[in-house]
Amino acid sequence: MTQSDNKPGWPPHGLTGWLVRWTLPGQGLPLDANGRMRVGVLQGSVSMAVNLGLFLVKAVLGLLLGSLALLADAVHSLSDVGSSLIVVLGFIWARKPRDSRHPFGHGRVELVTALVLAVLLIVLAVEFFRMGISRVIDPRVIEVPWWVIVTVVATMGVKQWIAIFAHRLAVATGSTALKADYWHHLADVLSTGLVVLALLASRWGWAAVDGWAALGVGGFILYTGFTTARHAIDPLLGEAPSRAEVTRIQQAGAAVSGVRGVHDLIMHKYGVDQVISLHIEVDADRSALELHDIAEQVEQAVEQAMGGKAIVHVDPIDRTHPQYEEAAGVMAAAVANHTQLTGYHDLRVQGSGDRLSLSVDVVTAMGTLESDYPVIERNVEERIRAGLKRVKHIEVTVETGYHEV
């Protein structure tokens, strides 16, 4: 990978850039699997070291002053040490070789680590709420020297650098776990800002602000926890490919000579690895060897465009039938006028005269219930009969859509 292949701003400058170049000498983007693992371990290790130092500073100052907000912020920094350790272990575990029980590798461990981090954040937020309410009800006057406030502000600067560091590496790797860690660090910056306000308020005699600041810290962490959990749960449940990904796959497949259509696209993601399956329509008059070659060319084109593994199923379609174009027009109108359908494929017309038979697969929109399928099937059949008077036999198959159109 040459330097010209890098994205703008990569490798980054300053201390971040030095750490990246030291970890990955001469490597650009996109990072390979080993590069992603090393970057993840780098980010987690640096974060652990810095947050351990911040925890010690905040804990000592919080104990000396008796500030609940500052002690809560210290615990927040300590939780960052644990979460970064989870990130490191997640990246190392994700690169374990495939085995008989996990034939697609362990890439989704990154998502599991992000989910564990989210749970820790939510539990921590609830504890902050409990302690903050107690301090609001029973406020305590705190004597805060100026040098303490300056020290806490300085920790915000250090934490901001760690957040930027995590964000740059998350963008480079596309890692959900690193992105979660970035939001965790950013929440810590904001929560420490509330602590600074509480310390200033204490100097002015507003003792209850310390408890309110602890509640504010809990609110930041709770929001971050739920956001992180949602971003981790979606891919674990089977997140649909984005419209941009669908377009890239369809364009890659359609660009291969002989392909007349692409449908039934499904994507399974396993960290950086992914498996893509799709169906292609081709002319039925081609030989089996030709169809095999076309399928392999589509697989190669999709893999080059998206990475991962592509699996292609071939659907031969006879478009030479005299009534095919008329049937295609009827189907296009039927789908366009049906709110629960997004498309059709595998349209086949056979026979002649009054013995025409037609079969077709129609694709439902996201959110369509399977209990609606029989009604949709009958509705489509009625529209076909209305448009093609001579059709004797009609077979309509209703399929689930796996991505937005």
259 and 381 both lie in a single domain = yes
pLDDT at 362: 95
216 and 285 both lie in a single domain = no
Q: Let me know if residue 405 belongs to a domain.
A: no
57 and 92 both lie in a single domain = yes
Of the candidates 330, 324, 265, 256, the residue with the CA atom closest to the CA atom of residue 294: 256
Q: Cα(166)–Cα(180) distance, rounded to whole angstroms?
A: 9
Q: Let me know if residue 346 belongs to a domain.
A: yes
pLDDT tens-digit readout, 213-240: 778 877 877 887 888 788 788 888 877 7
pLDDT at 3: 38
pLDDT at 57: 92
Using 70 as the pLDDT threshold, list the residues of the chain that sit under it: 1-14, 16-17, 20, 24-34, 94-95, 105, 107, 141, 271-272, 405
222 and 339 both lie in a single domain = no
Q: Cα(393)–Cα(383) distance, rounded to whole angstroms?
A: 13
pLDDT tens-digit readout, 166-207: 888 887 777 777 777 787 788 778 778 878 888 888 777 787
Among 209, 237, 265, the domain-final residue is: 237
Q: Let me know if residue 181 belongs to a domain.
A: yes
189 and 309 both lie in a single domain = no
pLDDT tens-digit readout, 284-334: 999 999 999 999 999 999 999 988 889 999 999 999 999 999 999 999 999
Among 237, 258, 283, the domain-final residue is: 237
User: Is residue 201 a contact partner of residue 365, using CB atoms and an 8 Å limit?
Assistant: no
54 and 155 both lie in a single domain = yes
Return the CATH number at 160.
Answer: 1.20.1510.10
pLDDT at 94: 65
156 and 304 both lie in a single domain = no
219 and 329 both lie in a single domain = no
Q: Let me know if residue 157 belongs to a domain.
A: yes
Structural domains in the chain (count) = 2
**Angstrom distances, CA of residue 337 to CA of 234, 333, 378, 379:** 32, 6, 15, 11
pLDDT at 257: 94
Q: How many CB atoms lie within 10 A of CB 119?
A: 13
Q: What is the pTM of this model?
A: 0.64
Of the candidates 173, 176, 33, the residue with the CA atom closest to the CA atom of residue 112: 176
Of the candidates 12, 33, 8, the residue with the CA atom closest to the CA atom of residue 22: 12
Among 217, 237, 257, the domain-final residue is: 237
Q: Cα(344)–Cα(360) distance, rounded to whole angstroms?
A: 7
Q: Cα(359)–Cα(81) distance, rounded to whole angstroms?
A: 60
Q: Cα(38)–Cα(169) distance, rounded to whole angstroms?
A: 11
Return the CATH number at 365.
Answer: 3.30.70.1350
Q: Let me know if residue 284 belongs to a domain.
A: yes
Residue 69 is which amino acid?
A: A
Instruction: Map tokens 């080059």 to a residue.
Output: 304
224 and 249 both lie in a single domain = no
pLDDT at 219: 82
256 and 229 both lie in a single domain = no
pLDDT at 282: 94
Domain span at residue 370?
243-399
Q: Let me know if residue 109 belongs to a domain.
A: yes
Q: Let me know if residue 404 belongs to a domain.
A: no
228 and 248 both lie in a single domain = no
Of the candidates 308, 315, 301, the residue with the CA atom closest to the CA atom of residue 251: 301
Q: Let me know if residue 297 belongs to a domain.
A: yes
88 and 129 both lie in a single domain = yes
pLDDT at 24: 67
Torsion sign, CA atoms 171, 175, 177, 178? negative
